[in-house]
Amino acid sequence: MVLDAPDARALARFYSELLGWAIAKEGDDFCTLGPTSGVAYLATQTSAGYVRPEWPNAEGRQQMMLHLDFEVTDLPAAVAHAVELGAREAAFQPQDDVRVLLDPAGHPFCLYHGG
């Protein structure tokens, strides 16, 4: 999974701190990060002319192409932590037990409590 951003390093640092994942490779235009075990990884890349997606989708505006879901043990604490790191809670929340947030580049992501 690769997320475009106006600043690959800044977005990589956000997700590294949010998820506790290490940044494996870091450059001006491309970064990768991943958990200490497993095969998943996330990358960020600088994209000239990047346009923030609109959430919720709005006709004629840049739509999100995907969103990430993260299971957490304490939803209010996880939301507070994400906001402290630079995310913002979206105004539109379609579910009571899931929180939609926007990362610093505007990509929507969801935090939910795994039952």
Query: What's the CATH code of the domain at 81?
Result: 3.10.180.10
Q: Is 59 a domain residue?
A: no
**Structural domain span for residue 104:** 66-115
- Does any domain span residue 15? yes
- Look up residue 53 and give its two tokens: 């997606």
18-35: average pLDDT: 95
Residue 61 within any structural domain of the chain: no
Residue 33 falls inside a structural domain? yes
104: in domain: yes
Instruction: Indicate whether 76 and 44 sit together in one domain.
Output: no
Task: Check whether residue 80 and residue 111 sit in a common domain.
Answer: yes
3-state secondary structure of 46: strand
Rounded Cα gap, residues 71 and 98, in angstroms: 10
State the total domains in the chain: 2
pLDDT grade for 114, boundaries at 50, 70 and 90: confident
The tens digit of pLDDT for each residue in 47-104 reads 999 999 999 988 998 988 888 999 999 999 999 999 999 999 999 999 989 999 999 9
